[in-house]
Amino acid sequence: MFHIGVDLAWGRRQPTGVAVLDDEGRLVQLAAVRTDEEILALLAPYVDGPCTVALDAPLVVTNPTGNRPAERALNADFARFDAGAHPSNTGKREFADGTRGGALAERLGLDLDPHAHSPRAAIEVYPHAATISLFRLGRTLKYKNKQGRDLEQLRGELLVLMGLLEGLGGAEPALQLTGPGTYAAGVVEAGVGGVGEGGAGEGGAGWTALRRQVQHATRKSELRVVEDQVDAVVCAYVALFAARRPDEITSYGDAATGMIVTPRLPEDHQPTPRPRRGPQDTSPPPPDPVGAVREYALRHPGLVRAGEEFLAMVTGILDDAGINYLTVTGRTKTVASFAEKARRLGLDGEPLYPDAARQIADTIGLRVITYVHGDVDTVADLLREQLLVRDDRDMGQETAQEGRFGYASRHLQVALDPERPVAAGLEPLVGLTAQVQIRTVLQHAWAEFEHDIRYKGSIPEEHAHDFDRRFTLAAGLLELADREFSTIRDTLRAPERRTPSDTGVEEAATDPRAGIEPRDLAAFLAGQYAEAGWSRTDHYAWIAGLTHELGLLTLADLAQTLREVDETVIAERMDYRYPPGAVRRLDDALLLAFGDAYVALHGNAHRRDLLDARLARLHAPPG
């Protein structure tokens, strides 16, 4: 089944936006067209079978003057949010001989009565009202071109709406605007007499192209074509929402006089107060979460790039120190997520973030997952040495001080240290802050499961206390397990040193020209650097490739090279603050043994500046 949105232009000279969602919520068509024939041609592949076509246009108009009953009823709910519908009547020229939307529905053979439950139906929708309900907006977003609205305001408001729609990827039903199977057109508007080119693909470039056009628009007219297609996506999502969650839909009016279908307005939802305009009123204006969201939407593309740079920087710091971690991941908060947080209220009914643009600090987030608890502190200390730490909270310690078990994670707010020179490529990070969460894999499992149950599921009231007890018990058991894992790791790091021959490692019975296998190398290094911790699995494969580039094709070749390296000199010159992993130890040994030749290896192209600095330390005079 297809769920189709049509933002139908009132005149045939203006563009009409068309969007099509499949039954999984994937955007499979997106275009702007003008004539009825272009609309019908574009929809033909999607309306042969079960479908719902949601049109932002009147389908039935019978009243000679004033509002239709549907418009009066909808306005009673939504006019206070600036989302009232314009009057439609046969006294207007465009409705004197019927409606354009009704004629299109008739030509497509669609049923106009939503309550008839026909497999092929047309419904009238209203995007402004839908966005108030779906996103709990205090007032409509002002992305329509009207007098007094400049290009930057229209751009900002439209980007907010696009961000909110992107955030529906985690909703029910989910909206998938990009990714596998979504529409991958070029830009947007078809020329006269034809529809836009493009088709389904892997990249979802259709939606991405729309966002790019909004960001780079220099005229309001360039936003107009995008606006119609974004509205069409809203219409299509309302059709999908009505199919999946029919009990949360309100239908205003009736089939005989016209009916408007929209997601139900939440009972407790109130409009944002209007700014005070009295000349004697000197009190501060009420918080404007939409303004903060608008500002964030404009900054969002740059923050995404900054988030990627923060992720690469922190990963590089950990890799250079030889820390053995499970994963380092990052994300930049979506516009939808920011908007939801900006609208949160406290128990007193006041906004939690009255200055949301500056108070919401976790817009860029990183998460480091370690294997053992001791490495959590090691990672935190390492980041403190390299970056400016603005805040450091040990959530596990705070929980323990309350005499209970529960959520455990180290939360750091980090930024570039202004006392250090800014490395090339990191200039966009100046003035920005990222939140880094550091936790063990067991702490992460508990946090993810607990969050999933409490915030995404529903706990029956009769089970609430029992679940609290069980989560607490699980947290205590996992803390104990973390301690045992740390003890095992510390025992394996015994100070006694073994030689490679003590490990029982033998040469693999393979063609030596193939080089050293990563698994064999890991076993060899466990004996060579018995006191060192294990390194990441992919790092063994990476450094095995470097040994191959050096011509060290067997473990015997490698052992001979390492016998000629003075480990005491390396330890003295590198002054390891934290126990480096086995791969880092080998890395430094090969650097000392081969010098500039090692730096010049193809596999080291991404870190030559770093290796040059290390090599200088290795060759520095003692003291």
Residue 251: inside a domain: yes
Higher pLDDT, 489 or 569: 569
Q: What is the mean pLDDT of residues 489-518?
A: 57
pLDDT digit string, tens, across residues 225-258: 899 999 999 999 999 999 999 999 999 999 999 9
Exposure letters 261-272 (e unless 16+ CB within 10 A, then b): bbbebeeeeebb
Q: Specify which of 25-39, 274-288, 298-312, 391-405 reaches the highest per-range mean pLDDT.
A: 25-39
Which residue range forms the structural domain that includes residue 469? 289-490
For residues 26 and 150, membership in a common domain is answered with yes
- At residue 41, the pLDDT reads 95
Residue at token pair 């100070």: 495
Considering the domain architecture, whether residues 391 and 530 belong to the same structural domain is answered as no
Identify whether 156 is part of a domain. yes
Q: Let me know whether 95 and 225 are in one domain.
A: yes
Sheet order of strands, 364-370 included: 325-332, 364-370, 434-440, 410-415, 388-394
What CATH number is attached to the domain comprising 446?
Answer: 3.30.460.10
Confidence tier at 195 by pLDDT (50, 70, 90) = very low
Which residues does residue 327 pair with via DSSP β-bridges, in sequence order? 369
Q: Which DSSP letter does residue 26 get?
A: B
Question: Partners of 53 in the beta sheet?
Answer: 4, 122
pLDDT of residue 287: 58
Judge whether 575 lies within some domain: yes
**Could you tell me the pTM of the whole model?**
0.64
Banded pLDDT at 511 (limits 50, 70, 90): low
Q: Tell me how many domains the chain contains.
A: 3
Q: Is the pLDDT of residue 542 over 80?
A: yes
235 and 383 both lie in a single domain? no
Q: What is the mean pLDDT of residues 432-443?
A: 92
**Domain shared by 237 and 300, yes or no:** no
User: What whole-number distance in Å separates Cα of residue 542 and Cα of residue 546?
Assistant: 7
The reply to whether 535 and 448 lie within a common domain is no
Residues 95 and 242 reside in one and the same domain: yes
Whether residues 385 and 256 fall in one domain: no
Question: Looking at the structure, do residues 464 and 612 belong to the same domain, yes or no?
Answer: no
- Clarify whether residues 331 and 214 are in a common domain: no
Q: Determine which of 182-186, 327-331, 343-347 has the lowest per-residue pLDDT on average.
A: 182-186
What pLDDT is recorded for position 224?
86
Residue 513 falls within a domain, yes or no? Answer: no
* Eight-state DSSP code of residue 50: S
Domain assignment of residue 495, yes or no: no
- Report the distance separating Cα 316 and Cα 328, nearest Å: 10
